[in-house]
Amino acid sequence: MASLSAQTLLCIALTVVICLIGGVDGSLEGGQREFDYFALSLQWPGTICHGTRHCCSSNACCRGADSPTEFTIHGLWPDYNDGTWPSCCAQVQFDVKEISTLLDALEKYWPSLYCGQSSTCYSGRGLFWAHEWEKHGTCSFPVFRDEYSYFLTTLNVYFRYNVTKILNEAGYIPSNSKRYPLGGIVSAIENSFQATPEVICSKDAVEEIRLCFYKDFKPRNCLASKTSCPKYVSFPAYVSLGRNESETDGSWISEDEAL
């Protein structure tokens, strides 16, 4: 299956967003209050994959040399300014055929980092992407009116605001021995995007970085909240177990994904 280039995706996505934003009217179907802003949540595979003790075919942590080594997408989430968020806003089930031309890019930049199927609003359990579309994507109306536009634009926002590149250029590289000042990491992102991110940690390891955007995808500050991170944090490096290794030792499992 041929994948679209980042440049092609970006051109298409910008056109889609410009057209769709023109229809914003302040209310959603069924009386649902319209969201205020988007949060792009990015996962650090090195932190999450360190918790992988057994492999399965759906887990990108198990791809050996092809396991992700940069931030991957968790989701694009419509949020409210009061710290709450809408979810499961329309009874529209995920249809993987709608994003068939994006699958190569999604597998690389928006993979699941867990085993097992994800919970969904209407489909029961299914793909990680089904969870993100049904829970969050359906709440992004009127900016997005369909599944394809939601995934396409999320990919392009991810490409445009390349957190991995920004941090690497600032000297924050994966390491299992070094610790970095949290304030320096936040400042590197602020200086590049002119907006303050939110950083989520698991103990002292960075687990997620969230970038926030207005509905036209111009950066804005994320809401101030008590951080889960200490003053010095790490970006753990990860060496995949590899699928072949797991297959030979019989350690394949099917676990529910916590999202």
Residue type, 210: R
User: How far apart are alpha carbons 150 and 133 in whole angstroms?
Assistant: 8
**Active site includes 50?**
no
Candidates 34, 131, 134, 136; catalytic one: 136
Residue 42, SS3?
Answer: strand
In this structure, are residues 192 and 166 in contact, taking their beta carbons and an 8 Å threshold? yes
Strands 198-202 and 205-213: antiparallel
136 is catalytic: yes
Dist. CA 125–CA 118, nearest whole Å: 5
The C-alpha atoms of residue 129 and residue 106 are separated, in whole angstroms, by: 9
Angle made by CA atoms 138, 139, 142, in degrees to the nearest 5 = 95
Angstrom distance (rounded) from CA 94 to CA 31: 22
Candidate list 34, 132, 134, 207, residue with the active-site label: 132
Query: Would you name the residues annotated as active-site residues?
Result: 74, 132, 136
